[in-house]
Structure 1
């Protein structure tokens, strides 16, 4: 498990650094995302769909505020079109991370983990724990990107990754986009309560998952 945690920590550090740089320079804040969508609406409402897809495609590099963008997609496009735009953009982003990691990630892995046996143990650990991580990844920023890259690096079959990705992402996107569609500037409560509820549900899932994993560990593990 340690090799897996080591790689995931390294990936998290990379995405966190990018996120902090983006926040420092105000590259893709919630206000900027809203400004982009308002500008697209003034040109042609059809462009909003494309703008959302492009913004969320950048999520693999710039840590776009996903939940806020999903709520705004529902607000501007309604449901289910807003949900479709978000799911399309997120899927493109995750596939980009998966593909690049599958093709080039082994080079970085060989630098961080030089022992071939440890690399095999890392892949085995992710094959065992990865599905739950992928489904619950929306509980925190950067975790979806990390799990997509891990799936690529460990060569998890793409159909298998997509199944668990869809199981975790479709309900998240659908609920958030619908909440955005029934919210307004004068009545933002549906969006606010939905955001809080989604995070509470996902964190509860993480808590249960961690408890189950601890129970699976032997009482006297070998050193």
Structure 2
């Protein structure tokens, strides 16, 4: 499990560095994203769709406020179209991470975990724990991209990855986009409550998962 945690921590730090850099430089802040979508709406609603998809895809390279963009997608585009746009963008981002890691991740993995047996154990550990991580990844920024990269570098079958990704992401995006669609500038409470509820649900899921994992480890030690 240690090699798995080591690689995930390194990936998280890499994505976190892009988040910090973006905040320091004032790139893709909540205010900037909202302004961009407002400008796109004034020109042509189609541009809003393209902007949402592009912004969420860029999340693979530079951390962006994913939940805010999804809420705004619902606000500007309405529920079905806003959800579809946000889901397209998030899916393209994780598929990009999966493909890049599958194709080019072996060199980086060999540098971080030099022992071949340890790399094999890492892949086995992710095969066991990865599904829960993928489903609950939306509980924190950068974790969806981290788990996508881990799935790619450990050669998790793409269809298997997408099933767990969909189980965690489709409800998340749907609820956020719907909440955005029924919110207004004068009444943002649906969006606020949806954001709080989503994070609360996912964090409870992480807590339950950690308790179950700890219980299983104790059972294995005494068996």
TM-score tier, shorter chain, comes to: over 0.9
How far the C-alpha of 1:159 sits from its partner, in A, is: 0.3
1:47-105 Cα deviation digits (max 9, x unpaired) = 11111000101010111100000000000000110000000000000000000000011
Q: Which residue of 2 aligns with 1:209?
A: 209
Q: Distance in 1 between matches of 2:103 and 2:135?
A: 23
- Runs of 5+ unmatched residues, structure 2: none
Consecutive unaligned residues in structure 1, runs of 5 or more: none
Normalized against structure 1, the TM-score is what? Answer: 0.98
Match of 2:152 in 1: 152
Count of aligned residue pairs for this structure pair: 222
Task: Give, in whole Å, the separation in 1 of the partners of 2:106 and 2:153.
Answer: 6
Aligned-partner Cα distance in 1 for 2:89–2:219: 44
After superposition, residues 16-95 of structure 1 pair within 5 angstroms as 16-95=16-95
- How far apart in 2 are the matches of 1:11 and 1:221? 30
Q: Which moved more, 1:38-47 or 1:161-170?
A: 38-47
Instruction: Give 1:182's aligned residue.
Output: 182
RMSD of equivalent CA atoms = 1.1
| 2:111 equivalent in structure 1 | 111
1:140-193 residue CA offsets vs partner (Å, 9 max, x unmatched): 011001000000010000000000000000000000000000000000000001
Residue 172 (structure 2) aligns with: 172
1:126-165 map, 5 Å: 126-165=126-165
Cα displacement (A) at 1:221 = 4.7
SS of 1:217 mapped into structure 2: helix
SS in 2 for 1:62: coil
Q: Which runs of 4+ in 1 moved over 4 A?
A: 219-222
Deviation, 1:109, is 0.5
